[in-house]
């Protein structure tokens, strides 16, 4: 996790504007940073930190649910500006396929969509099942598609049990290829202990690390020449 207190002012400025839900100021600042050729991934990272702080205000009851909704909407608008640039800037020739979805009971999809955008830009084929995906649906699609990797997204504590159940079902599949498919977990609330509880192969809290992980897992699976 980056140390945000060490960031330059123009970056903490965006974080604060997101945290304060200043929609128009956020969008103006994003335009300014893009015009100055800033890395779009830095902008995503700053937004993610801003959203995390919105979540903290919600926990402290300084914001209501509407605050979370507003924050999500601001980020969606930011991503509308960033997506075309990310698609051009980040390209790759990966040939792997990944089955992706937000697990049952959880409707958070901003982070999952970011990951999907980056993976697609790098050349991966992404099958996105959407949100609130039951374990059985992951299994059915995995049997049908035989992906190289499976990615489970979950942002709320209760999604850990959905992730665990999904992993169990996949691992116990009669289909040996599906049972052996690496499963990556993603979401801001994850840590090593939670990953072990769920039974995933790896976990990440940001999309770019997720892409690198997918690349290295695929390299491990491909037979060496």
Cβ contacts of residue 23 below 8 Å, gap of 6+?
70, 73, 74, 77
Counting contacts by CB under 6 A, is residue 141 touching ligand B12?
A: no
Q: What is the C-alpha separation between 33 and 13, in angstroms, rounded?
A: 11
Is 49 an interacting residue with respect to ligand B12 (CB under 6 A)?
no
Q: Is 157 in the site for ligand B12 (CB under 6 A)?
A: yes
| Helices of type H across the chain | 9-19, 23-35, 40-59, 65-89, 110-121, 135-145, 159-171, 176-179, 192-198, 207-221
Q: Which residue is nearest to ligand B12 (CB)?
A: 111
Helix (H, G, I), strand (E, B) or coil at 211: helix
Query: Number of residues in contact with ligand B12, rule: CB under 6 A?
Result: 40
Which one of residues 187, 195, 200, 218 is an interface residue with ligand B12 (CB under 6 A)? 187
Contact between 205 and ligand B12 per CB under 6 A: yes
Residue ranges in 99-118 that form contacts with ligand B12 under rule CB under 6 A = 100, 105-112, 114-115
Least Å from the CB of residue 115 to ligand B12: 5
**Would you count residue 189 as binding ligand B12 (CB under 6 A)?**
yes
């Amino acid at each position: 996790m980056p140390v945000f207190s060490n960031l330059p002012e123009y970056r903490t400025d965006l974080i604060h504007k997101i945290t304060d839900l200043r929609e128009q100021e956020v969008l103006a600042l994003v335009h300014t940073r893009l015009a100055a050729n800033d890395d779009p991934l830095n902008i995503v990272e700053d937004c993610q930190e801003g959203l995390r702080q919105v979540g903290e205000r919600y926990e402290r009851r300084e914001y209501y649910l509407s605050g979370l909704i507003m924050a999500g909407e601001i980020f969606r608008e930011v991503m509308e500006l960033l997506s075309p640039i990310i698609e051009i800037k980040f390209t790759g020739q990966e040939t792997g396929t990944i089955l992706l979805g937000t697990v049952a009971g959880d409707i958070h999809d901003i982070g999952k969509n970011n990951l999907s955008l980056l993976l697609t830009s790098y050349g991966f084929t992404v099958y996105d099942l959407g949100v609130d995906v039951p374990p059985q649906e992951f299994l059915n699609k995995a049997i049908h598609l035989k992906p190289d990797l499976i990615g489970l997204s979950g942002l709320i504590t209760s999604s850990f049990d959905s992730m665990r159940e999904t992993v169990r079902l996949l691992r116990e599949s009669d289909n040996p290829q599906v049972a052996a498919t690496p499963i990556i977990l993603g979401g801001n609330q994850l840590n090593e202990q939670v990953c072990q509880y769920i039974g995933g192969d790896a976990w990440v809290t940001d999309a770019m690390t997720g892409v690198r992980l997918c690349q290295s897992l695929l390299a491990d699976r491909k037979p060496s020449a």
